[in-house]
Amino acid sequence: MDNLYVGIVAFEIMYDLWVFEQRKRDNELKIMLQNQVSEPDLRISVDSSLNHYYELFQM
């Protein structure tokens, strides 16, 4: 039972960090869209955000 609890706590910590990072990325993307940055820069940001989502499913 202790191992299960430790695993749950570890996941919650990792997930909280993931959510924090995702909010940061979302805000950066909003700013980029408002400032009409170049398409290559926007593509880099979107690709980075998608990779971040993939990390969520690897937890």
pLDDT, tens digit, for every residue of 12-42?
999 999 999 999 999 999 999 999 999 999 9
Burial of 25 (0-12, 13-18, 19+ CB in 10 A): middle
The 3-state DSSP class for residue 52 equals helix
Beta-carbon contacts of 49 under 8 Å, excluding residues fewer than 6 positions away, are 22, 25, 26, 29
Confidence of residue 2 (pLDDT cuts 50, 70, 90): confident
The pLDDT of residue 4: 85
